[in-house]
Structure 1
Amino acid sequence: MRLTFSALTAALLAGPALAAEGPFVSLHNTDFVVLLAFLLFIAVLFYFKVPSLMAGMLDKRAEGIKSELDEARALREEAQTLLASYERKQKDVQDQADRIVSAAKEEANAAAEQARLDLAKSLERRMAAAEEQIGSAEAAAVKEVRDQAVIIAVAAAREVIAKQMSAADSNKLIDDSIAQVDAKLH
C-alpha cells in the first residue's frame, strides 16, 4: 500500500511538469513560474515569521480552548454540587413533608378517637338524663295514681261513713273534734 501511495503521489506531481512543452527551467514554462511563485511565497512567509505567528496563534487558541474547557469543567462540577445540594434539599423537604403528613394523620386519628370518646360520654349523659326524666315521669305518675287513689278512697270512705253514721254519732264526733281543737289551741 505504501508503494502504491508514493507512486501515485509521484505520478500526480510529475504529471504536469512532464506535460509542459519546452525546457522546464524557463520563464515561458508556466509550471516553472508557478513553482517559483510558490517558493517565493513560502520564503516570504518564513521571512515574516508567519509559521511562528501561526503557531503562536494556534497556541493561544489552544490555551483559550483549554481555559474554556477548564471553566466548563469547573462549571460542571459546580452544577453537580448544586444539583446534589438541591437533591439533598428536596429529600429533606420530602422527609419533612412525610413527617408533617404522618403527624397530621396521627392528630386526625387522635381527634377522631377523642370525638368518639366525647360522643360516647354525650350519649351516656343523654341516656342518664333520659333515664332521669323517665324516673321523674314514673314518680309523677305513681304520685298522681296515689293521689287519685287517696281521693277515691276518701270519697268512698265518706260515702260509707255517711251511710253508716247516724245523727247522734255525728254530733258526738263534732263535739270530740271541738274538744281536741280546744285542747290543742290552749
Structure 2
Amino acid sequence: MRIAGFEFAEGARFQPGAEKDAKAVGEHLEMLRKQFKGELTPEDVLEDAKHDNSPLHSFFEWSDTEAARQYRLQQARGLIRAVVAVYVQPDKPAVRQKAYVHIAEPSAPHYREASHAMSQTKTREMVLKTALAELHAWKKKYRDLQEFAALISIIDKIDEKSLQPVA
C-alpha cells in the first residue's frame, strides 16, 4: 500500500491557513521518516523545524517566553482535567467523578464544576456534544481494528437525541 496524499486530521488546530500546508508537511515528515530508517521521533521533527526553510518551521512557537507560557497553560489544563471529586451521601458508597468539565464556549472557553455544568441545560448540551464528538473521533481512529467491531457498532447507534435528558 502506498500513501496517495496528506491532509490534517479533523479538529487539528493550527494557525489560520495551515490547511493548505498539509501536503508539504506530510511529504516532509515522510522524507524525515525515511531518512531515519523508518522511525519518526518528535526530537527529529523539532530539530528539522528549527531551520527557517523547513516547511515545519511555522508550526512551532519559537519565542521561548511564549512557548513556556503555552506549555504552562497546557500543564494547567492537564492539572484541571486530572482532579477527581469524591462525593459522599449518607448510607451510600462514595462516588468518584471528574471534578471539572470543559465548557467550549466560543467566546470564553473555561472549566466548570462537573455536577453544576450537568445541571444547567446549556452547559449540559455543550459537555454532551463534546463527549459525543470525542466518541466519534475515537470511533474514526480505531474503526479499522476488528477487535473493536462490537464497540463500533454500539457507537453507531448513539446519536445526539439519545443523549438528551428524559422529560
Question: What TM-score, normalized by structure 2, do the two folds share?
Answer: 0.17
Question: What TM-score, normalized by structure 1, do the two folds share?
Answer: 0.16
